[in-house]
Amino acid sequence: MTIKTCVFDAYGTLFDVAAAARDAAREPGAERLAKAWPTLAADWRRKQLEYTWLRAITGEHTDFWSVTQDGLDWALDAQGLLGDAALRERLLNLYWTLPAYAEVPGVLADLKAAGFSTAILSNGSPDMLDAAVVSAGLGDMLDDVLSVESVGVFKPADAVYSLVTERFACTPDEVLFVSSNGWDASAAAGYGFITLWVNRAGDPMDRLGHPPHEMLTDLTPIPDIAKAI
């Protein structure tokens, strides 16, 4: 077995999804958000993901920007902040420029220097992903950015993971797939990828029948792991 391509989920894996709420909470006039931002950020992310799963199950697909807005509205409503239109707009604007985690540029650069192909595979809409990649300065370190919009269904549908093998003309066992979502790492393992779960929060492992190859706390070891497989 030889890894040829290293593929990363985007949100929560390369990009810090809590940053929008955290940064907005530090701004002048955000006293109410300052008290609630950790819960709001967690609720926003949870509902965003839940809406992708439900839409995949029902076949009622919409783009990731729509479920991102819907998830935020639920989170704002839960905190009694739904009527603050300026806050909503600010949080959504910040989501387009989420920062990459500190180790991301170095990891991607090391993988490219070692001869691996690199890519993003994400639920994100193409315009959202392009904005995030540009904002974080990662464009030169990625061979492609693959979005579920080309198949019209969210993860964990097999059609999404097939985008990688089709794009890079490889077999699943030649792909190292990295995600911060345990369910995503498990589904990708079931598809046939070698998977790494970046468990930054220290969560329990999902019971889905396809455990990841390895669990990490951040992305730093990935180049060495890719070379060793």
Distance, CA of 81 to CA of 105 (rounded, Å): 35
The CATH homologous superfamily to which domain 5-15+99-228 belongs is HAD superfamily/HAD-like (3.40.50.1000)
The pLDDT value recorded for residue 177 is 98
Q: How many CB atoms lie within 10 A of CB 225?
A: 17
pTM higher than 0.85 for the full model?
A: yes
CA dihedral angle for residue 128, residue 130, residue 135, residue 140, rounded to 10 degrees: 160
- Domain ranges for the chain: 5-15+99-228, 19-95
Which residues are marked as active site? Answer: 9
Average pLDDT for runs of 10 along the chain of length 229? 94 98 96 96 98 97 98 98 96 98 98 98 98 97 98 98 98 98 98 98 95 97 96
- CA 172/CA 191 separation, integer angstroms: 7
Whose structure tokens read 């193409």? Answer: 126
Residue 34, number of CB atoms within 10 A of its CB: 13
* The pair of three-digit structure tokens given for residue 11, joined into one six-digit string: 């949100």
pLDDT confidence of residue 215: 97
CATH architecture of 19-95: Orthogonal Bundle (1.10)
Q: What pLDDT score was predicted for residue 96?
A: 97
pLDDT for 1 equals: 63
* Residue 64 · residue 123 · CB < 8 Å: yes
